[in-house]
Structure 1
């Protein structure tokens, strides 16, 4: 096998950053565009109902969200290249041979990474809502008071940097197979886009079953953008439940949104 170039060299580091940037942007555009298209083209009743209920988007919102997301993607790309350099020099715990650790460690490491990320983000998020910090770091994201699929990576560069640092630091101490890392990054993108849809994709009653009560979705996170003082989680609800920061409006709004979705689906089936 041909040895990899030394990515600590400036030109190779720049090349790696460009490649990772294109991957991050492509993944963002693909997934956000997919969900935008699903509801705008295939389920226009749901999209129109959402716009009526929320009074629509701000002028130029999508353009601004994509602009900030490109900056975030660049920061993620630099972090990815830094992680590559650290891996080449033997500082990270990323491994490529699936037999370096027991096979059962692969799903366990993913679960640990998700829990660690959830914990980091919950407390970071609460800190970013301190008034002095909010104006500098987090306000850009909350400029999207009514979220869209394109809000997913719409961050001020300081917030983007704080989010980009998590995985490189985690991988200094947590052994993770390369494929598991890819799965983690994919989950992160899908989760972020779904959470910012403002259209509930989960079925009626999902918020009360054993799995659904612990997962964050569009209804849960939309309340954070409207109320600011609740629902700080990223993937899971357990920190919000434990620290009593889950919105008291969540269950009722979820039931309202999913009941409307059922009616819209029945109307659509009746006209086809």
Structure 2
């Protein structure tokens, strides 16, 4: 009732504002004054409040339908993440039993920090041996003998952190090189090498930047995954556990809307003069990005923009397989918006064309998936029509026009341009 009353009050105030605006417009027309162009209300309190209220309503309903889960320490194995179980079954068990065998856990020859970790593990989980419980009802993987032969059992917090660090790093490298290379070979237009703002040895620089960024990003991301598998997140397994009927059908678009909203503001914040040159400029070094620029940024820049993805399952329920799917999709999307293939001039989707506008002109199109928040925030810039026509997309005149406008904006954003552009044009 309180929620309905507050909504009714908001509706009444909004209607009053509309009536006042109509009266003002009528007065202007009578006085012979031309009506002004409507300015987008980028901080429209009503719109933003409605979006956030819906997000937290779903979370509140989840708490009403389901009681709080048991202590995470007591239910670690019952909620073990699917990815972690696959890793342990095929790689982790043998790796940890070899490096940290159980027979040596009490040996004085082991380094002090290893013994300390083993003792902490015993304090957390007690003297009882590790007992396997499957992560999901949909997959059953019988653990081998190696699962019980390490000083760090599967539910050891240090082992989980180390595993997730390696998984995030290696999976990130695999997706990055596989998808970016395929995109570079089959999608990316090699004529871009001749663009006046394509850097000297840019592909190599992009790869080097990405390789340097991934380990620290993985280190910062691993704690989120550890908290998830230890029971602090709202990840669920089957549809019987969803907060309300058909939630599983809307969770993915819901996830996209939630993350798109927060990434917009994080990305926009990274363009603040106080943090731009330190954190975000490394990614804007690439004026005409290639697919390899997708992960080429400062570690804190890339990690900060990924935080909404990891925060979501701590606030709202999310099915485990959907989470794995979304984790892969996000990595693919990051490559796709840097591949220079302007498939469609969509007014809704923030695709490669919109993101190219962002790299060229800096202070536009901060959104990740949609143009919604850029439109509300007054930062949307429609991609030039020339980008969608093959004959003009790679035309020298269009390139010179882009370069001239980019140079004028760059002076305000960065000052002097310290980039080294390619002097020799390649004929491909």
User: Which residue is 2:132 aligned to?
Assistant: 2
Q: 8 Å contact 2:217–2:299 — kept in the other structure?
A: no
Q: 8 Å contact 1:7–1:16 — kept in the other structure?
A: no
- Which of 264, 269, 289 matches 1:122? 264
User: Which residue is 1:255 aligned to?
Assistant: 388
Q: How has the CA–CA distance of structure 1 residues 226 and 21 changed in structure 2, closer, same or farther, with 3 Å as cutoff?
A: same
CA distance in 1, matches of 2:169, 2:388: 39
Q: 8 Å contact 1:219–1:253 — kept in the other structure?
A: no
Q: 8 Å contact 1:7–1:85 — kept in the other structure?
A: no
User: Which residue is 1:27 aligned to?
Assistant: 175
Secondary structure in 1 matching 2:314: coil
The structural deviation recorded for 1:86 is 1.1
CA distance in 1, matches of 2:202, 2:240: 47
1:219 and 2:353 correspond = yes
The structural deviation recorded for 1:31 is 1.0
- Deviations 1:185-216 (CA, angstroms, capped at 9, x unpaired): 2221222111111232x1xxx32xxxx32112
| RMSD of equivalent CA atoms | 2.4
Q: Relative to structure 2, which stretch is displaced further, 172-181 or 84-93?
A: 84-93
User: Which residue is 1:58 aligned to?
Assistant: 199
Give the TM-score taking structure 1 as reference length.
Answer: 0.80
The structural deviation recorded for 1:88 is 2.9
Give the TM-score taking structure 2 as reference length.
Answer: 0.52
The structural deviation recorded for 1:27 is 1.1
* Structure whose alpha-carbon radius of gyration is higher: 2
> What is the number of residues matched between the two proteins?
244
User: Which residue is 2:42 aligned to?
Assistant: none
The structural deviation recorded for 1:140 is 0.3
Stretches of 4+ moved more than 6 A in 1? none
User: Which residue is 1:237 aligned to?
Assistant: 371
Secondary structure in 1 matching 2:240: coil
The structural deviation recorded for 1:223 is 1.1
- Deviations 1:146-194 (CA, angstroms, capped at 9, x unpaired): 1010111111122123124322322111111111112212221222111
> Unaligned 5+ residue runs, structure 1?
41-45, 262-272
Q: How has the CA–CA distance of structure 1 residues 260 and 145 changed in structure 2, closer, same or farther, with 3 Å as cutoff?
A: closer
- Deviations 1:224-245 (CA, angstroms, capped at 9, x unpaired): 1111111111111111122221
User: Which residue is 1:161 aligned to?
Assistant: 303
Q: 8 Å contact 1:152–1:192 — kept in the other structure?
A: yes
